[in-house]
Amino acid sequence: MVLSLILGVVYFKYPNLTVNGLSLERSSADLVVEDEKLKVKFNITESDKQKVKKFSENLGISEEWSLGLELSLNKETIDKVKKITPAHVVLDIEDKQIAFKSNLLANLQSGLPTQSLNYSTGSAVFIVKGVSNEDFSLEARNLKDLLFDATASGKLQASPKLVNLFKLGERIDKIELKVHNKNINGLLKIK
């Protein structure tokens, strides 16, 4: 039991470690700000490349996302993101979900109020729990209905650039994000 725990900690802290010829390599992602854009650089292991392909097929998108993502954000958001980047997260890739975690981030601060928010419509749920600015969580389920209801009711205004991404909402089962000080855990699960 203790040996398993120690190996787990070593595995998480040093995701590309090799012990006695056995690779403990893990897929990961690095978040950086370059040219006033947030860039996500993926480091996908050989053993996870087939899982990335299957996950992408299940989501109905090309696996090109695994080559890297780039987001243009407004100046205020970029300034906030610069405070927590560069960041490194370890990925756990399966056919129908991608989870990520890190315990090495700068303290993440939420701009959300510390009280909880719960928005539901039919089978769609959006929950934000804020214990403090450094301890919060977010969960969204049945994204398609949630986005449709929120935009139709006027509670959410979406950029025309994002409307095409709404089609993915029907394939996404759940999104989770949990932050506690320097620890972050997240999940994207598809149906």
Q: How far is CA 76 from CA 31, 85, 103, 147, in A?
A: 17, 15, 25, 24
Give whichever of 6-20, 64-78, 109-123 has the largest mean pLDDT. 64-78
pLDDT at 121: 73
Nearest to 36 by CA among 69, 67, 82, 87: 82
- For residues 52-79, average pLDDT: 89
Residue 19, pLDDT > 50, answer no
Q: What is the pTM of this model?
A: 0.73
Q: Is the pLDDT reported for residue 183 higher than 90? A: no
Residue 82 predicted with pLDDT over 70: yes
Q: What's the average model confidence in pLDDT over 168-176?
A: 85
- Distances from the Cα of 126 to the Cαs of 148, 165, 174, in angstroms? 13, 18, 10
105-109, 122-126, 146-150, 151-155, range with the lowest pLDDT: 105-109
Record the tokens describing residue 125, joined without a space: 């749920």
**pLDDT higher at 73 or 57:** 57
